[in-house]
């Protein structure tokens, strides 16, 4: 038995536990790290194939909010198990599963799986958030660490600091609010909510409209103590008055074309990390591309690996290219500090079952 395998865009641990996907072999549990689309492969078909479907409470609530029809079964199936962070869950006396916050998005989790017979501990980082070290979140110690290859550039001269990126984004937006025209800000879930809260704090008197997708999840963020007002206090973009020129509209990337503004807006696109860019924000006429990411930097990833105390580190290429994973492996392997610690790096291999 291989301890860690990759199959069908998923991770298979101890040949019995699948993470963020579905395997071609029978499994007893599926663990969902968070609800971003690239981690949700075959989620709704996994209920009948696993005795346990485990995720953080906020992730389950967000899945319900964004998929109301498909999620009706979540309230009735007894094998859907919403759990809290740092609360170990025993799987049939064989494995202990514990989730830990990873600072990526609301509900996102590091997943620690411990084999109770051998006491071997496998940790999957999932997408590490940029502030996991700064916020002093728990990083559990493990024997084997699986990390995503979606961290920042290995070139420190091009590293983007999260706090500095957010501050410059707010400064740039503030510089353009005085113009007699709307602004539209688009970004992925997890990033856009942080920007909305920062905008509300900085520009308290500016009118805000939210898209359908963002409004659908406000009640979940409030439940988990994010500082949003009730959803009814925000305007829907369809309610914009024809004479209204000065407002901010926040939406997800797939909603950018859903509304035709009466007056041409300035567009701020939160496009995530760009290793080729040397600036935080790049302007092309009325479009601002903002390299503002919800993923950890390379330096944060290094610190994360050290805190896990893993001696075997597997780089997951499922959510990134093999080229990116190999580049990260080579860069980490060349570091003297990891050599002295005895840490070995490898790239996750796809497994085919006969």
Spatial distance between the Cα atoms of 201 and 269, rounded to a whole number of angstroms: 20
The answer to whether 110 touches 101, Cβ cutoff 8 Å, is: yes
Contact 277/120 with Cβ under 8 angstroms? no
Residue 189's pLDDT is what?
86
- Both tokens of 249, joined, read 């509209």
SS3 of the chain: helix, strand, coil, percent, to 5:
30, 25, 45
- Say how many C-beta atoms besides its own lie within 10 A of residue 82's C-beta: 15
What does the pLDDT look like over 49-72, one tens digit per residue? Answer: 999 999 999 999 999 999 888 888
Q: Is the distance from CB of 100 to CB of 85 less than 8 angstroms?
A: yes
CATH 3.60.15.10 residue ranges for the chain: 4-155+295-347
Q: Is 140 helix (H, G, I), strand (E, B) or coil?
A: coil
CA 266 → CA 142, 245, 292, 351, distances in Å?
47, 11, 17, 47
pLDDT at 170: 93
Q: How far apart are CA 87 and CA 238, in angstroms?
A: 43
The sign one gets for the Cα dihedral 326, 330, 331, 332 is positive
Regions in the chain scoring below 50 on pLDDT: 354
Half-sphere exposure of 283 (CA within 13 A, CB side): 7
**CA-closest candidate to residue 234, choices 286, 193, 177:** 193
From residue 18, alpha-carbon distances to 31, 105, 117 in Å are: 6, 21, 19
Half-sphere exposure (CA, 13 Å, Cβ side) for 345? 22
pLDDT of 339: 96
For Cα atoms 115, 118, 123, give the angle at the middle one, nearest 5 degrees: 40
What's the pTM?
Answer: 0.92
Architecture of domain 161-290: 3-Layer(aba) Sandwich (3.40)
Chain region(s) in the chain for CATH 3.40.50: 161-290
pLDDT given at position 2: 79
Contact 75, 104 (CB under 8 A): no
Which residue, 245, 235, 252, 259, is CA-closest to 182? 245
Beta-strand ranges (E) seen in 49-193 are: 52-56, 80-83, 89-91, 95-101, 109-115, 121-124, 144-148, 183-186
CATH number of the 4-155+295-347 domain:
3.60.15.10
Can you tell me the distance from the alpha carbon of 94 to that of 288, in angstroms, rounded to the nearest whole number? 52
């Amino acid at each position: 038995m291989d301890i860690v395998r990759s199959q069908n865009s998923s991770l298979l641990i101890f040949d019995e536990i699948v993470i963020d996907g579905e395997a071609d072999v029978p499994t007893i549990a599926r663990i969902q790290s968070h609800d971003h689309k690239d981690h949700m492969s075959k989620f709704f078909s996994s209920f009948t194939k696993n005795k346990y479907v485990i995720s953080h409470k906020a992730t389950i609530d967000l899945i319900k909010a964004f998929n109301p029809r498909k999620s009706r079964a979540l309230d009735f199936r007894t094998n859907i198990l919403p759990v809290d962070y740092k609360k170990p869950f025993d799987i049939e006396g064989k494995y202990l599963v514990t989730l830990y916050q990873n600072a990526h998005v609301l509900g996102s989790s590091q997943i620690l799986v411990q084999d109770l017979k051998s006491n071997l501990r496998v940790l999957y980082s999932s997408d590490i958030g940029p502030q996991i070290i700064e916020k002093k979140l728990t990083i559990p110690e493990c024997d084997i660490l699986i990390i995503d290859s979606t961290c920042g550039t290995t070139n420190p001269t091009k590293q983007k600091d999260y706090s500095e990126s957010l501050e410059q984004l707010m400064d740039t937006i503030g510089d353009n609010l005085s113009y007699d025209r709307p602004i539209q800000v688009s970004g992925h879930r997890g990033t856009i909510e942080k920007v909305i809260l920062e905008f509300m704090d900085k520009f308290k008197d500016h009118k805000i409209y939210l898209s359908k997708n963002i409004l659908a999840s406000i009640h979940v963020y409030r439940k988990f103590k994010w500082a949003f007002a009730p959803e009814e206090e925000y305007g829907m973009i369809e309610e914009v008055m024809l004479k209204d020129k000065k407002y901010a509209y926040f939406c997800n990337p797939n909603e950018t074309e859903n509304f035709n503004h009466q007056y041409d807006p300035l567009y701020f696109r939160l496009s995530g990390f760009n290793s080729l860019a040397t600036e935080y924000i790049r302007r092309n006429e009325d479009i601002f591309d903002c390299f503002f990411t919800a993923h950890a930097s390379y330096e944060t990833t290094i610190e994360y690996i050290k805190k896990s105390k893993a001696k075997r580190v597997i780089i997951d290429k499922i959510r990134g290219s093999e080229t990116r994973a190999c580049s990260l492996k080579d860069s980490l392997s060349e570091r003297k500090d990891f050599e002295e610690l005895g840490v070995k790096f490898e790239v996750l291999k796809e497994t085919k079952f006969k």
